[in-house]
């Protein structure tokens, strides 16, 4: 008896849906000119909704949207939230710092040659801070940047200042899809290891109008007061500071 009732109810629902559905003879009759909700089809004189498309390039540096006409679009975001492989600061007579990103800077999110993000043309900075402990922004001027490969090839960049002429950042190797590393040393590095700085925020900023790339290091820290702080395998932060 229950099965009969269920079948009757199901048949009623199908009839109700068909009654409200748009009548058609071809698929073109059902087209709502919106690619985002999928391709509509005509089946037995009734318009059937399509399957909505998913716009996700798995890149945290882009804003993923769907345009009714063009379909999926992936626009570079101003505040790109990227993962971190390693962060380390060491005290002593010659303070040192190492920052290593995850592999998130790739595709349209990578700082392209001859754009506002190009550090060879527009320079860059790296801000390193821990709330209530320290906050310093280090310059990386255009004079110390060079292209990897030919200009326009978008193979990558190298920043080199081994003599600390322009500041404490000595090396930054930047390539798409790689674990990019920043190194710094010397008294120009400003940080305190009196208390645990966890989490440490890092913001890479390219040019005056270029994008920011934000990291947050904590979660798996190693801290020795007055000597060192390290953090590993940091996921992307929830937001840029």
pLDDT tens string 68-93 = 999 999 987 778 999 999 999 999 99
The predicted pLDDT at position 21 comes to 53
- Looking at the domain assignment, is residue 83 inside a domain? yes
Is residue 54 in a domain? no
Residue 6 lies in a domain: no
Is residue 130 in a domain?
yes
Report yes or no on 118 lying in a domain.
yes
- 124-130 and 134-140 beta bridge pairing: antiparallel
What token pair was written down for 193? 């290891």
* Per-residue pLDDT at 208 exceeds 60: yes
Are the C-beta atoms of residues 231 and 222 closer than 8 Å to each other?
yes
Question: How many domains does the chain fold into?
Answer: 1
pTM: 0.76
Calculate ∠ Cα 209-214-217, nearest 5°: 155
Residue 13 lies in a domain: no
Residue 109 lies in a domain: yes
| Residue 219 structural domain | 79-234
Residue 110 domain-assigned?
yes
pLDDT at 6 over 90: no
Over range 180-187, report the average pLDDT: 97
């Amino acid at each position: 008896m229950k099965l009969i009732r269920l079948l009757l109810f199901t048949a009623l629902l199908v009839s109700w849906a068909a009654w409200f559905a748009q009548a058609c003879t071809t698929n073109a009759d059902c087209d709502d000119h919106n690619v985002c909700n999928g391709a509509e089809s005509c089946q037995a004189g009734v318009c059937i909704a399509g399957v909505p498309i998913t716009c996700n390039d798995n890149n945290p540096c882009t804003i993923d949207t769907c345009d009714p006409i063009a379909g999926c679009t992936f626009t570079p975001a101003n505040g790109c939230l990227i993962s971190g492989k390693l962060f380390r600061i060491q005290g002593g007579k010659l303070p040192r710092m190492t920052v290593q990103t995850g592999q998130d800077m790739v595709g349209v999110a990578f700082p392209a040659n001859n754009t506002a993000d190009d550090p060879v043309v527009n320079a860059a900075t790296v801000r390193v801070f821990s709330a209530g402990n320290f906050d310093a922004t280090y310059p990386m001027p255009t004079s110390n940047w060079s292209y990897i490969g030919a200009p326009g090839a978008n193979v990558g960049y190298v920043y080199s200042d081994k003599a600390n002429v322009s500041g404490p950042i000595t090396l930054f190797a930047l390539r798409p899809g790689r674990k990019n590393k920043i190194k710094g040393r010397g008294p120009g590095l400003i940080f305190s290891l009196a208390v645990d700085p966890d989490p440490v925020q890092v913001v890479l900023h390219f040019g005056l109008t270029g994008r920011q790339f934000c990291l947050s290091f904590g979660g798996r820290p190693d801290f020795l007061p007055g000597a060192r702080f390290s953090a590993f395998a940091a996921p992307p932060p929830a937001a840029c500071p």
